[in-house]
Amino acid sequence: MLYKYCYKRLASNSETLKYLIAQHKMYQFLVIVTLFTFATSSVILADKEWTLFKATYGKNYPSLEEENYRKNIFNENLKKIKLHNEKAMRGEHSFQLGITKFADLTIDEMEMPELEVEPQPIDFKFHHKSYFKAPESVDWRSKGILTGVKNQGKCPSCWAFTGAATIEAAYAKAKGVLVNLSVQDILDCAPKSKGCTPGYVSTGYQYAMSKGLRLDECYPYESHDDSFGQKACKVNSGCGRIKIKDFVFIPKGNENALRDAVAEHVVAGYIYASLHDFKFYKGGIYSNPDCRKDKITHLVPIVGYGTENGTPYWIIKNSWGEHWGENGYGRILRGNNTCGIALYSSSYPRI
Which positions ≥6 away from 107 have C-beta within 8 Å? 276
DSSP at 265: S
The total number of residues written for the chain in this structure: 351
Whether 158 is catalytic is: yes
Choice among 158, 189, 196, 339 that is catalytic: 158
The string of DSSP codes covering 76-138 is HHHHHHHHHHHHHHTTS-SEEE---TTTTS-HHHH--PPPPPPP--TT------TT----S-E
For residue 312, report the phi and psi dihedrals to the nearest 5 degrees: -80, 150
DSSP H stretches of helix in the chain = 2-57, 64-89, 107-110, 158-175, 183-189, 201-210, 255-262, 276-279
- 244, 349 contact by CB (below 8 A): yes
Which positions ≥6 away from 258 have C-beta within 8 Å? 250, 267, 269, 302, 341, 342, 346
Report which residue type is found at 158.
C
Integer angstrom CA distances of residue 7 from 2, 4, 20, 177: 9, 5, 20, 101
Choice among 77, 288, 298, 339 that is catalytic: 298
* Spatial separation of the C-alpha atoms in residues 251 and 257, rounded to whole Å: 7
Choice among 84, 93, 276, 318 that is catalytic: 318
Whether 75 is catalytic is: no
DSSP-based three-state secondary structure for 7 = helix
Whether 298 is catalytic is: yes
**Active centre residues (catalytic):** 158, 298, 318
